[in-house]
Amino acid sequence: MPLTRKAYRAAILHSIADPAEVGIEASYEYFEDGLLVVDGGKISALGHASELLPTLPADIEIEHYQDALITPGFIDTHIHFPQTGMVGAYGEQLLDWLNTYTFPCESQFGDKAHADEVADIFVKELLRNGTTTALVFGSVHPQSVNSLFEAAEKLDLRMIAGKVMMDRNAPDYLTDTAESSYVESKALIERWHGKGRLHYAVTPRFAPTSTPEQLTLAGQLLTEYTDLYMQTHISENLKEIEWVKELFPERKGYLDVYDHYKLLGERSVFAHGVHLCDDECARLAETGSAISFCPTSNFFLGSGLFNLPMAEKHKLNVGLGTDVGGGTSFSLLQTLNEAYKVMQLQGARLSPFKSLYLATLGGARALRLEDKIGNLQPGSDADFLVLDYNATPLLSYRLKQANNIAETLFVLMTLGDDRTVQQTYAAGALVHQR
């Protein structure tokens, strides 16, 4: 970790609140000629260059980026590391897609060499796309989590992950048991949870692939350690929802299954939630649980349109997820491009500042990490990006027609992708340079 002070000068933009709560203008800070000062892996100052420069030692090193925008690192609240090799698999919706493509692909992650190789590709891909923190599904194999955390630890990334718990309705080669999933998760928690910037997430895949015994033990794990996360899927696909009703006829609905097994809470993140009803949103909000909105996946798997206004009405925490490999891009910029279309198809809007919030501070709040990541307030981890206005000829030309930061931001989110991310910094260190 670099211990010396360094400053970065460019246009700087970050979210400071949810536009749904405070209005758009009060939701962000923008410095047209800004300065970000980093000290020992943390942000020590942020402001207008003209005001901050005179306060700094004359010999401080300053990196000056022209035609570029500094933003906080992006936060992906739902992604599957062992699905990196199967992005863009043709022709199926959720349940057939899992059986045809996903399970065979995930079966390879008990092998250390394979898991290490893909972990390296996966972490590089996150950083190339400007994602500095992700909430990650491993496979059923503890090795998948060990490989991922080892790769993240080398770069001192803030990363959250867990081994999938799955003891029924999946091929034998990919199931654990209630007992083994508990013991293996516990060993991973002991090894990784709270080590550096790493955190563990208890990870029952979704209700159909866990027995009541396994869900009970998942709930028990959450009581045995502090600040553990819980991640799973919910109400993504109509056939999936029908299946959950058949498997758990005694429960009121899909969310009630998780509620019954004590899996809701402030560090619980439910992916998708496309078909949630009003009462379920209210219950999620009441328990402080979060939803990961995964637009590219919901389009690709034909799952449906997430109702963000309903979530906002309930003041539900919502982050953005790529859901690779159901999702089709590691880029949160591309994910926002699709999120905008999800809203358009429902007769609603997604302002560029709400989009910025979802990809940064909203994700941090969903993960209860807003005091550490998600914006550029002094004291935060120095996880930030440099976005290049000249990344492609079209972007460069288009941005010349933009009249203000709102237009610039919206175009970056519509045309931008991994090429737009010129530098990625994590804990003050340069971890990706295009």
Q: Which residues bind ligand GUN (CB under 6 A)?
A: 80, 94, 98, 102, 205-206, 233, 236, 297, 323, 326
Choose the contact partner of 363 out of Zn ion, ligand GUN, none; CB within 5 to 8 A by kind: none
* Helix, strand or coil, per DSSP, at residue 381: strand
What's the closest the beta carbon of residue 137 comes to ligand GUN, in angstroms? 7
At its nearest, how many Å lie between ligand GUN and the CB of residue 112? 22
Distance of CA 200 to the CA centre of its chain: 14
Choice between 237 and 424, CB closer to ligand GUN: 237
SS (H, E, C) 140-194: CCHHHHHHHHHHHHHCCCCEEEECEECCCCCCHHHCCCHHHHHHHHHHHHHHHCC
Considering beta carbons, is residue 102 or 147 the nearer one to ligand GUN? Answer: 102
CB of 347 to ligand GUN, least distance (A): 26
- Provide, rounded to whole angstroms, the least separation between the CB of residue 82 and Zn ion: 11
205 contacts which partner out of Zn ion, ligand GUN, none, CB within 5 to 8 A by kind?
ligand GUN
**How many angstroms separate the CA atoms of 177 and 12, rounded?**
49
Residues contacting 226, CB < 8 A, separation 6+: none
Interacting partner of 298 out of Zn ion, ligand GUN, none (Cβ under 5 to 8 A depending on kind): none
Other CB atoms within a 10 A radius of the CB of residue 375 amount to 23
261 contacts 219 by C-beta, under 8 angstroms: yes
Which of 378, 350, 348, 372 has its CA nearest to residue 360?
A: 372
Our CB check for ligand GUN shows the closer of 257 and 412 to be: 257
User: Which residues form the interface with Zn ion (CB under 5 A)?
Assistant: 271, 323
Nearest residue (CB) to ligand GUN, 101 versus 357: 101
- What length is written for the chain? 434
CB of 24 to Zn ion, least distance (A): 30
Q: How far is CA 321 from CA 188, 225, 270, in A?
A: 24, 26, 10
Instruction: Report what 365 binds from ligand GUN, Zn ion, none; CB cut-off 5-8 Å by kind.
Output: none
Q: Which is nearer to ligand GUN, 97 or 340 (CB)?
A: 97
In angstroms, give the least distance from the CB of 180 to Zn ion. Answer: 22
267 contact choice in ligand GUN, Zn ion, none (CB below 5 to 8 Å, kind-dependent)? none
- Cα within 13 Å of Cα(429), Cβ side: 11
Q: Omega into 325 within 30° of 0, i.e. cis?
A: yes
What the block records as the tokens of 214 is 């396994």
Residue 206 binds which entry of Zn ion, ligand GUN, none, CB below 5-8 Å type-dependent: ligand GUN
Q: What is the number of the residue whose Cβ is closest to Zn ion?
A: 323
Pick from ligand GUN, Zn ion, none: which does 9 bind, CB < 5 to 8 A by kind?
none
Report the residue number, 92 or 407, with the smaller CB distance to Zn ion.
92
Work out how close the CB of 297 gets to Zn ion at its nearest, in angstroms, rounded to a whole number: 7
Nearer to ligand GUN, 138 or 416 (CB): 138
Question: Could you give the CA distance from residue 204 to residue 170 in angstroms, rounded to a whole number?
Answer: 13
